[in-house]
Amino acid sequence: MTAHLIDDNWKPKSYSLSTQQMIDRHTAANLSDAMGIIFRKWDISDKVLAVVTDNAANAVNAVRDTIEIQEQYDLTCAGHTLQLVVNKALAFPEIQEICEKAGKLVGHFRHSNVATKALQSKQEQLNMKPLKLIQSQPQLRFDLDYLEWWKARADRFPILSNLARKYLCIPASSANSERTFSTAGNIVTSKRSCLSPENVSMLVFLYQNKSIIESDIILSK
């Protein structure tokens, strides 16, 4: 199991938490119990937003049966699909009409100092926090770093940026976990087939998190 998050500098981070042997059948109930044990071991039971798995029914059902997971429904792979969904939604005539009217409304205030001052005066009269109308943002190009885009606009969109940081850390696939399996395969060779499951788990953990360990050693010096 690997954990993913976005730090305070909007940098994606990944950590290997556990590689353990499943002696029991790989049923949804057993997988759910195993995940719960790992969550409690790392004291993250109340911090797990979502779990990305393969499409096997037992894995999908295990996520749905694990109460610690906030988003319990299977996730699809991700960024480009989301962009297609947004574009398709924006193509609906009703949405286009709303966007067009909103654009004209914002344009009216942006091009009229009298209207802008009247809006500010009304906000003060109603004891509202001063807010500005914002024109629609340009679409994000595929060659841009979406985290850098949100980092640069975190002050401008504080609520949306918090949601972005919360949900964008969910990986689009289980590739990181698959790489962990590859590491385990390199460790448990024919010459080291007698390694205990506990030792295999610790060796994989150390290898997968070696960058963190090395940085801690440098800092301690």
Statement: residue 207 has pLDDT above 80? yes
Residue 137's pLDDT is: 61
Q: How far apart are CA 135 and CA 99, in angstroms?
A: 10
Residue 76's pLDDT is: 46
Burial profile 29-60: b = 16 or more Cβ within 10 angstroms, e = fewer: eebbebbbebbeeeeeeeebebbbbeeeebbb
In a domain, 153, yes or no: no
Q: How far apart are CA 64 and CA 28, in angstroms?
A: 9
- Which residue has better confidence, 190 or 33? 33
Residue 67's pLDDT is: 87
Residue 42's pLDDT is: 92
Q: Which residues, 6 or more positions from 191, have their beta carbon under 8 angstroms from its beta carbon?
A: none
Q: Tell me the pTM.
A: 0.50
Report CA torsion sign: 205, 209, 215, 219.
Answer: negative
Count of beta carbons in the 10 Å neighbourhood of residue 199 = 13
**101 and 68 share a domain?**
no
Instruction: Specify the number of domains making up the chain.
Output: 2
Residue 30's pLDDT is: 92
Question: Domain boundary residue among 136, 153, 184?
Answer: 136
**63 and 110 share a domain?**
no
In a domain, 29, yes or no: yes
Residue 94's pLDDT is: 92
Residue 142: pLDDT band with limits 50, 70, 90: low
In a domain, 204, yes or no: yes
Look up the domain containing 88 and give its range: 79-136
Q: Which residues pair with 3 in a beta bridge?
A: 15
CA-to-CA dists, residue 208 to 41, 88, 129, 198, angstroms:
18, 40, 47, 15
Residue 132: pLDDT band with limits 50, 70, 90: confident
Q: How far apart are CA 172 and CA 52, in angstroms?
A: 8
In a domain, 176, yes or no: yes
Question: Domain boundary residue among 136, 151, 183?
Answer: 136
Give me the residue label for tokens 């385990």: 184
Average pLDDT, the chain: 82
In a domain, 27, yes or no: yes
In a domain, 154, yes or no: no
Statement: residue 169 has pLDDT above 90? no
Is residue 216 a contact partner of residue 206, using CB atoms and an 8 Å limit? no
Residue 171: pLDDT band with limits 50, 70, 90: confident
For 60-98, how does the pLDDT look when each residue is reduced to its tens digit (9 = 90+)?
A: 888 888 888 888 776 644 554 566 677 888 889 998 898
